[in-house]
Amino acid sequence: MYNIKLQPLTKEAFSPYGEYYTMDAPDGYSLKGELHAFYPDRMTVYHSGLSAFSPITVNKPDRMIVKQVEYHTTTAEMIMPLNDDMILHVAQPSAGKPIPELTKAFIVPKHTLIKMNTCVWHLAPLPLNESQLTALIILPECTYMNDCTVVDLSEDEMFEIVK
């Protein structure tokens, strides 16, 4: 079993997997009115059909042992932790064969919108502090039925996320 050490989220470290933007601390140029500042188009994603906004809840395990991973071949996945910082593990695309030895695990601050590129290995995020994480998942409608390849890891491929 591999041990994957948690690391802070940085633009440079996360760039092979996607991008992110901290939604509760916007920066840069904004369109301003008397009572508002609007920060347009900070992150975009293309979906050829309807986008679905789905909540996910994830209970904090005693040990963060990952036994499955998944990827989507036709779409980027967006995710934002709502009530806690989250742990997100990712690995670069690899033609359908998991590469747990190259997996990275990031601490994603609450209210940070993550966009994972197409075919990036991942699974459900995990709570960092709370007993249960609530997050928002944004994918094309029915991706979980139409474009979700889930792979069970062998005992040798399983990994534990450690602090």
Beta-carbon count within 10 A of 6 CB: 16
Return the structure tokens found at 39. Answer: 């920060």
Boundaries of domain holding 110: 2-162
Cβ–Cβ under 8 Å, residues 96 and 49: no
From residue 138, alpha-carbon distances to 18, 50, 143 in Å are 14, 10, 10
Average pLDDT (64-77) is 96
| 127 has a pLDDT exceeding 90 | yes
Cβ–Cβ under 8 Å, residues 105 and 12: no
Cα(14)–Cα(89) distance, integer angstroms? 11
Q: How many domains does the chain have?
A: 1
| 88 has a pLDDT exceeding 90 | yes
Average pLDDT (16-38) is 95
Looking at residue 77, which CATH number applies to its domain? 2.60.120.480
Smallest CA-to-CA distance from 88 within 116, 63, 68 is with 116
Q: Residue 49: what pLDDT?
A: 87
Average pLDDT (58-62) is 97
